[in-house]
């Protein structure tokens, strides 16, 4: 999960500049994704996730970290931010402003994105590393909201994030 876990907060650090929706609106008159989803965040976050995954691949002696495939590193990192972006799309459709609180969805969007993209593009790796260990998946779902909240509180006080959620 580490590439996905690092992609999310580094998107906040690198974020800013041109929004992915280029400021355009959907049919409902609201932004497609909103100003909180930028190219810099998407690319910076994905790149950081990939770098961490490649580093993890090097420490093969630490078997508890598991082994990666190149595809899984990319899909975990990019999928995390794709999930976050998909979440924003639906938040806007539901009328939530950028940054509005959406409990549990805000915390698990990136897990869903990372898992779905990895399942689609590297089913064998996903089966061996997640589906084969349902307790790992349950642990991730239970602990991610806590971890996410803690990270965002730190990000808020470090003045990197506008909201502590």
Binding string, 74-103, against ligand CTP, x = CB under 6 A?
Answer: -------x--x---x--x------xxx---
Q: How far is CA 101 from the centre of its chain?
A: 16
Q: What is the DSSP letter of 31?
A: B
Binding string, 23-62, against ligand CTP, x = CB under 6 A?
Answer: -----------x-xxx--xx--------------------
Q: Considering the complex, what minimum distance in angstroms separates the CB of residue 117 from ligand CTP?
A: 15
Q: Is 145 a binder of ligand CTP (CB under 6 A)?
A: no
Q: Is 21 a binder of ligand CTP (CB under 6 A)?
A: no
Write out the two tokens for 84. Answer: 């976050």
Buried b (16+ CB within 10 A) or exposed e, 33-49: bbebbbebbbebbbebb
Write out the two tokens for 10. Answer: 């580094």
């Amino acid at each position: 999960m580490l590439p996905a876990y690092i992609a999310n907060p580094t998107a906040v650090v690198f974020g800013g500049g041109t929004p992915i929706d280029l400021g355009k609106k959907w049919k409902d008159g609201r932004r497609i994704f909103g100003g909180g989803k930028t190219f810099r965040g998407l690319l910076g976050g994905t790149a950081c996730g990939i770098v961490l995954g490649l580093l993890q691949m090097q420490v093969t002696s630490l078997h508890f970290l598991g082994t990666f495939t190149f595809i899984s590193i990319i899909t975990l990192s990019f999928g995390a931010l794709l999930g976050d972006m998909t979440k924003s799309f639906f938040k806007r459709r539901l009328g939530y402003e950028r940054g509005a609180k959406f409990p549990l969805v805000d915390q698990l969007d990136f897990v869903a994105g990372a898992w779905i993209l990895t399942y689609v593009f590297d089913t064998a790796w996903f089966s061996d590393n997640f589906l084969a260990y349902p307790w790992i998946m349950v642990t991730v779902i239970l602990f991610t909201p806590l971890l996410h909240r803690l990270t965002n509180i730190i990000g808020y006080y470090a003045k990197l994030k506008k909201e502590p959620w």
